[in-house]
Amino acid sequence: MPTAAKHDFVVVTGYLPVDPIPGGSGRVRWRASRSGVNAALHPIVARRHGTWIGWHGLTDRQLGPFDWDGISVQPVPMPATDATDHLGGHCETSLAPLYHDGVEPPQFDRRWRQAYRRVNDRYSRAVANIAAPGATVWVHDYQLQLVPAMLRVLRPDLLIGFFLHTPFPPIELFEKLPQRDEILGGLLGADLVGFQSRRACANFCQAVTESGEYRMDADVVHPGGRRTSLGVFPVSVDTAGFERRARDPQTRRRAAQIRAELGEPRTVLLAVDHLDPAKGIEQRLDAYHELLAEERLDPTTTLLIQVAVPGRQHGTERPDAWARVERKVAQINGLYSWITRPAVHFLHQALTQQELVALYLAADVMLATPLRAGMNINAMEYLACRTDGTGTLLLSEGSGAAAGLPEAVTVNPYDIDTFKSAILAAIGSRNSDGRRIKMRAMRRRLREYDVHRWAAQYLDALNNTAAHPLPPGSKLHGRTPAPMPSGLTR
């Protein structure tokens, strides 16, 4: 293998931050991805002049490195069989349902697990080939949980961090995973494993303890004479960037145009999700349908925009889930739409960032109500865009963002009756002085703890693991990561 340029800061994700644009020519064109993970990481990698490793989204296609939007991009190839078995199989049919409270029953297959190992090995070797001596490598999310240990074998000189963007399941679910010991060992190859919430970190600690294979001391695990620190670092967004886009006159004109095209409704409800059972789209539609049926919402003055962002992973969008959502949307629109305006605008498409920000500005209420989520990037983007302090955020208790945004209207999305009441409360309070005060408080916290501070805290903690190696025979002491701003608690 030819020697590649060496890089000091390497970010590793399942996918690159760009999607290929379909076209007839042999030359590949790219557009920015709207993945929540990529949206959070892009400003970090660009600011640090880092290198990004991931799959480019094209099966059986070998592509060389290229630069994109200030980032050095290193594509990892993926055979079609691995894309199907690793992504569609093990990641999206085994791990994702399990990590999201078993909302959808997980399925397991030996062939999928073998593909998962092959892909993680391929990523590890790609990183080992381009990382400079002593480089910092930051691996992300459940698709690559074996990479830290594999990379540790190949390049013991590297400083390796791992961050899990999804929840980590409770032991009662995790113990169902045939690969659980291998995944624990893979993660513990990192110097620092970061989580979105205290609950996720506690679940991981219990899994490590229950395995009986490792010694633990506070927030430090000791695998094979090494130390792996654990910490909680709730992800954030590029607040300043979204504020800048929201203040752009062209974006504001587009938001006004959207309201006009919708017929100037009194209330616009907005939800943005992937079409995944864990996102709670069906429960949201059920609550909205009942409010219309009970005449507690007027379809002539209120409408719902549901954006279902197409999934990038193979197998993310289950046909049965798609059919159920389509049926519910058709039922609502068949009963409550005008000829000129549906009661639900269902958009199954990837929006440009400008169009998404315009929708955030056009919406009176943001419904961020997944059944379970590691965080909720769209909820925080909505807050960042509401520069005038208007609007209301309705947030699921199952979202990792709920702990850090106590001023939001919160709901248990499984409870349809309280869900309906929460929607009405969010609509009724949107223009009140109390709601504006709460919106300002959440926005102030988001400015204080933006994506750059999130990354800085994580990387500082990672660097601290290198600065405090475990001396032979020393007494073990756990270390607590730096405190977070009030309200974004760990």
The model's pLDDT over 258-290, given as tens digits with 9 standing for 90+, comes to: 999 999 999 999 999 988 889 999 999 999 999
In total, the chain counts a number of residues equal to 490
* 452 sits in which H/E element: helix 451-467
pLDDT beyond 60 at 121? yes
What pLDDT, on a 0 to 100 scale, did the predictor assign at position 25? 64
What pLDDT, on a 0 to 100 scale, did the predictor assign at position 4? 52
What pLDDT, on a 0 to 100 scale, did the predictor assign at position 186? 98
Query: Per residue in 130-172, pLDDT tens?
Result: 999 999 999 999 999 999 999 999 999 999 999 999 999 999 9
Token duo for residue 121 = 């090995």
pLDDT beyond 70 at 469? no
* 12 sits in which H/E element: strand 7-15
Burial label for 473, CB within 10 Å (0-12, 13-18, 19+), is exposed
What is the average pLDDT value for the chain, to the nearest integer? 89
**First vs last C-alpha separation in the chain:** 44
Average pLDDT value for residue range 386-397: 96
Cα 336 to Cα 316: distance, rounded to the nearest angstrom: 30
Can you spell out the DSSP letters for 77-106? ---HHHIIIIIIIIIIIIIHHHHTTTSS--
Q: What are phi and psi of 225, to 5 degrees?
A: 80, -5
What pLDDT, on a 0 to 100 scale, did the predictor assign at position 137? 98
Token duo for residue 114 = 């073998």
What pLDDT, on a 0 to 100 scale, did the predictor assign at position 340? 80
Cα 395 to Cα 398: distance, rounded to the nearest angstrom: 8
Superfamily of domain 239-448: Glycogen Phosphorylase B; (3.40.50.2000)
Cα 429 to Cα 15: distance, rounded to the nearest angstrom: 40
What pLDDT, on a 0 to 100 scale, did the predictor assign at position 334? 96
What pLDDT, on a 0 to 100 scale, did the predictor assign at position 170? 96
Average pLDDT value for residue range 229-236: 95
What pLDDT, on a 0 to 100 scale, did the predictor assign at position 484? 34
The DSSP call for residue 408 is S
Beta bridge partners of 9: 136
Helices (H), 238-369: 239-247, 249-261, 281-293, 319-336, 353-362
- DSSP 3-state of 34: coil
Q: What are phi and psi of 227, to 5 degrees?
A: -135, 135
Among the listed residues 187, 194, 185, the one whose alpha carbon sits nearest the alpha carbon of residue 224: 185
* 385 sits in which H/E element: helix 377-385
Cα 95 to Cα 88: distance, rounded to the nearest angstrom: 10
Q: What are phi and psi of 77, to 5 degrees?
A: -75, 160
The DSSP call for residue 400 is G
Query: Per residue in 402-443, pLDDT tens?
Result: 989 999 999 999 999 999 999 999 999 888 999 999 999 999
Cα 225 to Cα 281: distance, rounded to the nearest angstrom: 46
Across the beta sheet with 409-411, the strand order is 344-347, 302-309, 267-274, 365-368, 392-396, 409-411
What value does the CA radius of gyration of the chain take, rounded to a whole number of Å? 23
* 442 sits in which H/E element: helix 433-448
What class, spelled out in words, does domain 7-232 have in CATH? alpha beta
Would you say the C-alpha torsion 418, 419, 422, 423 has a positive or negative sign? negative
Token duo for residue 289 = 């349908």
Q: Chain centroid to CA 458: how far?
A: 16
User: Is there a contact between 451 and 457 (Cβ–Cβ < 8 Å)?
Assistant: no
What pLDDT, on a 0 to 100 scale, did the predictor assign at position 159? 97
Cα 53 to Cα 72: distance, rounded to the nearest angstrom: 9
User: Is there a contact between 307 and 397 (Cβ–Cβ < 8 Å)?
Assistant: no
Average pLDDT value for residue range 201-226: 93
Helix, strand counts (H, E) of the chain: 17, 18
Query: Per residue in 307-334, pLDDT tens?
Result: 998 766 554 456 777 889 999 999 999 9
What pLDDT, on a 0 to 100 scale, did the predictor assign at position 431? 81
Give residue limits of the domains in the chain: 7-232, 239-448
Same fold, 7-232 and 239-448: yes
Among the listed residues 177, 198, 182, 189, the one whose alpha carbon sits nearest the alpha carbon of residue 95: 177
pLDDT beyond 60 at 490? no
Q: Chain centroid to CA 265: how far?
A: 31
Query: Per residue in 42-99, pLDDT tens?
Result: 889 988 889 999 998 888 888 889 998 888 999 999 999 999 999 999 999 999 999 9
> What pTM did the predictor assign?
0.91
Cα 5 to Cα 416: distance, rounded to the nearest angstrom: 55
User: Is there a contact between 446 and 236 (Cβ–Cβ < 8 Å)?
Assistant: yes
Cα 225 to Cα 424: distance, rounded to the nearest angstrom: 56
pLDDT beyond 60 at 474? no
What pLDDT, on a 0 to 100 scale, did the predictor assign at position 488? 37
Amino acid letter, 348: H
What pLDDT, on a 0 to 100 scale, did the predictor assign at position 69? 84
Among left, alpha and beta (phi > 0; psi -120 to 50; other), residue 148 is alpha
Can you spell out the DSSP letters for 297-312? S-TTTEEEEEEEEPPS
pLDDT beyond 60 at 1? no
